[in-house]
C-alpha cells in the first residue's frame, strides 16, 4: 500500500510540475503574442538628413479659405457648392498614390475633371508612405512629400479645393490608431503644420469610415470600441485645431454620422444605395445638426450595373442633394482602375472585381455617360 501511495504522490508531483511548466509557457507565449514589434528608429544624423532633404512647402496663390455659414460652404461670403470626386490617379490608386504617382498623368486627369466643371477633390494620405522610422516620431520621406506637394499645387492651379483625408490605411493592431500613439500625433502635426497655410485645402478629414473600426459593418470585425474611436476622434480634432485655425475639420463616417457632430465643422456621410434612402438619411441628419452636410462618397460600379443605370442613379442622388440644399456631393470615383495598378507585386494583376469599375471615365479616359 505504501509503495502505491508513494507512487501516487510521485506522479502527482510530476503532474504539478508539468502543469506549472505549461502555465508558465502559455503565459510567455501569450505575452510574446501581444507584444508588438519595436518601431524602427533613426539616428539623429539620419533625422537631420531627412529634414534637410525636404524644402518648406510653398503655398499656392489661392486667395481665400473655405468656411461655412447657414449650413453652406462659403468663400468670401459667397456660397461654395461642392461638386467633385474622390480622387486617385487611374494608374496610381491606393498605396501607389503617394509613392509612384506621375505628375504629368495627374495634370492630364485634372484637366479632364476641370473641363467637366467639377470643383472639389478628396484625396487620401497614408502615413507609412510619408514617414520613416516611426519610433523617432515624424521623419519625412522627402520624395513622397514632394510628390504630394506637386499634387496639391496642381489641384490649386486647376481651380480645385481639396479635402485631405488623414490616417488612411492606419495600423489597428500593433500600435492601434485609437490608442493615439505619440508617433501618429507627431506625424499628424507634421502634415497639418506643413499645409496649414494652403488655402486650396477645403478641410481636413480625420479618418475615412472610422465607424467601421467599431463594427458598423457586420462582416468586418470591430477593431476597437465605439467609445475608444470617438475619444480618439475628439483628441485628434483638438490637436488639429490647436495647430490650424483656418481649415475646417470633418470625419467621413459610413453610417454612424451623428456621432461625429460634436467634433467636426461639417458632417460627411457615405452612401451606396439609392436616392430614396439618401433623402431619408439627409433629413435625419438635418434634424440632428445645424452644421453643413456633405455627401462625401457615393457611386456605382459599371460591373454591377450598365452605364446608363450608373448615370441615371448618380443623377437621381444629385437631385436629392440639390433638393435638400446640403453643401454638395463627391462621387466615388473619378477613373476606373486597371488590374495591374491595384495589385501588390508579385501578386499581379489583381483579380478583376466591381471596385475597378466605379469611375466616371474608363482607364483609357473615354467618358462614361455619367460624365
Residues 84, 207, single domain; the answer is yes
DSSP-assigned beta bridge partners for residue 131: 140
Q: Using one digit for the tens of pLDDT, what is the confidence trace for 141-159?
A: 999 999 999 999 999 999 9
Residues 206, 221, single domain; the answer is yes
Q: Residue 86 belongs to what domain range?
A: 37-357
Residue at 351 is within a domain: yes
Query: Burial level of 9, CB count in 10 A (0-12/13-18/19+)?
Result: exposed
Give the phi and the psi of residue 154 in degrees, each rounded to 5.
-65, -40
What pLDDT is recorded for position 6? 46
Residues 226, 278, single domain; the answer is yes
> Could you give the CA distance from residue 51 to residue 47 in angstroms, rounded to a whole number?
6
Confidence at 33, pLDDT banded by 50, 70, 90:
low
Structural domains counted in the chain: 2
Residues 41, 29, single domain; the answer is no
| DSSP 8-state code for residue 335 | B
Residues 314, 341, single domain; the answer is yes
Residue at 73 is within a domain: yes
Confidence at 4, pLDDT banded by 50, 70, 90:
very low
Q: Using one digit for the tens of pLDDT, what is the confidence trace for 162-172?
A: 999 999 999 99
Give the phi and the psi of residue 256 in degrees, each rounded to 5.
-85, 55
Residues 21, 155, single domain; the answer is no
Sign of the alpha-carbon torsion through 371, 277, 354, 120 = positive
Across the chain, mean pLDDT equals: 93
Residue at 350 is within a domain: yes
Residues 45, 57, single domain; the answer is yes
What pLDDT is recorded for position 34? 77
Q: Using one digit for the tens of pLDDT, what is the confidence trace for 181-239?
A: 999 999 999 999 999 999 999 999 999 999 999 999 999 999 999 999 999 999 999 99
Residues 144, 290, single domain; the answer is yes
Residues 13, 78, single domain; the answer is no
What pLDDT is recorded for position 190? 98
Residue at 290 is within a domain: yes
Q: Using one digit for the tens of pLDDT, what is the confidence trace for 301-355?
A: 999 999 999 999 999 999 999 999 999 999 999 999 999 999 988 999 999 999 9
Residue at 162 is within a domain: yes
Residues 16, 143, single domain; the answer is no
Residues 75, 115, single domain; the answer is yes
What pLDDT is recorded for position 308? 98
Strands (E), 299-341: 328-331
Residue at 369 is within a domain: no
> Could you give the CA distance from residue 291 to residue 297 in angstroms, rounded to a whole number?
18
Residues 223, 165, single domain; the answer is yes
Residue at 365 is within a domain: no
- List, in order, residues 6 or more apart from 337 with CB less than 8 Å away: 88, 90, 91, 93, 355, 356, 359, 363
Confidence at 178, pLDDT banded by 50, 70, 90:
very high
Residue at 362 is within a domain: no
Grid cell of 267 as nine digits? 458632417
What pLDDT is recorded for position 206? 98
> Could you give the CA distance from residue 135 to residue 186 in angstroms, rounded to a whole number?
11
What pLDDT is recorded for position 19? 42
Q: Are strands 72-75 and 293-298 parallel, antiparallel or unpaired?
A: unpaired
Amino acid at each position: 500500500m505504501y509503495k502505491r501511495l508513494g507512487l501516487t504522490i510521485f506522479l502527482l508531483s510530476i503532474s504539478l510540475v508539468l502543469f506549472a511548466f505549461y502555465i508558465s509557457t502559455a503565459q510567455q507565449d501569450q505575452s510574446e503574442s501581444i507584444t508588438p514589434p519595436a518601431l524602427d528608429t533613426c539616428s539623429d544624423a539620419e533625422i537631420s538628413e531627412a529634414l534637410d532633404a525636404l524644402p518648406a512647402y510653398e503655398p499656392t496663390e489661392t486667395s481665400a479659405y473655405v468656411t461655412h455659414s447657414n449650413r453652406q460652404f462659403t468663400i468670401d461670403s459667397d456660397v461654395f457648392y461642392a461638386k467633385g470626386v474622390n480622387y486617385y490617379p487611374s494608374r496610381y490608386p491606393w498605396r501607389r498614390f503617394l509613392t509612384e504617382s506621375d505628375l504629368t498623368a495627374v495634370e492630364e486627369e485634372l484637366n479632364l475633371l476641370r473641363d467637366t466643371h467639377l470643383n472639389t477633390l478628396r484625396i487620401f494620405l497614408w502615413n507609412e508612405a510619408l514617414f520613416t522610422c516611426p519610433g523617432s516620431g515624424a521623419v519625412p520621406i522627402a520624395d513622397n512629400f514632394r510628390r504630394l506637394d506637386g499634387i496639391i499645387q496642381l489641384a490649386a492651379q486647376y481651380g480645385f479645393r481639396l479635402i485631405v483625408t488623414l490616417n488612411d490605411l492606419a495600423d489597428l493592431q500593433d500600435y492601434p490608431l485609437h490608442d493615439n500613439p505619440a508617433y501618429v500625433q507627431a506625424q499628424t502635426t507634421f502634415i497639418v503644420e506643413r499645409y496649414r497655410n494652403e488655402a486650396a485645402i477645403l478641410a481636413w478629414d480625420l479618418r475615412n469610415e472610422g465607424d467601421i473600426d467599431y463594427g458598423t459593418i457586420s462582416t468586418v470585425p470591430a477593431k476597437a470600441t465605439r467609445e475608444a474611436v470617438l475619444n480618439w476622434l475628439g483628441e485628434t480634432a483638438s490637436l488639429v485645431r490647436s495647430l490650424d485655425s483656418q481649415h475646417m475639420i470633418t470625419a467621413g463616417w459610413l453610417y454612424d454620422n451623428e456621432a461625429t457632430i460634436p467634433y467636426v465643422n461639417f458632417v460627411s456621410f457615405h452612401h451606396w444605395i439609392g436616392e430614396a434612402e439618401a433623402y431619408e438619411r439627409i433629413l435625419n441628419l438635418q434634424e440632428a445638426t445645424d452644421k453643413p452636410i456633405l455627401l462625401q462618397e457615393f457611386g456605382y460600379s459599371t460591373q454591377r450595373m450598365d452605364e446608363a443605370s450608373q448615370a441615371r442613379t448618380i443623377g437621381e442622388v444629385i437631385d436629392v442633394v440639390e433638393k435638400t440644399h446640403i453643401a454638395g456631393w463627391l462621387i466615388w470615383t473619378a477613373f476606373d482602375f486597371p488590374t495591374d495598378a491595384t495589385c501588390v507585386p508579385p501578386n499581379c494583376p489583381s483579380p478583376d472585381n466591381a471596385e475597378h469599375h466605379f469611375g466616371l471615365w474608363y482607364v483609357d479616359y473615354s467618358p462614361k455617360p455619367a460624365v
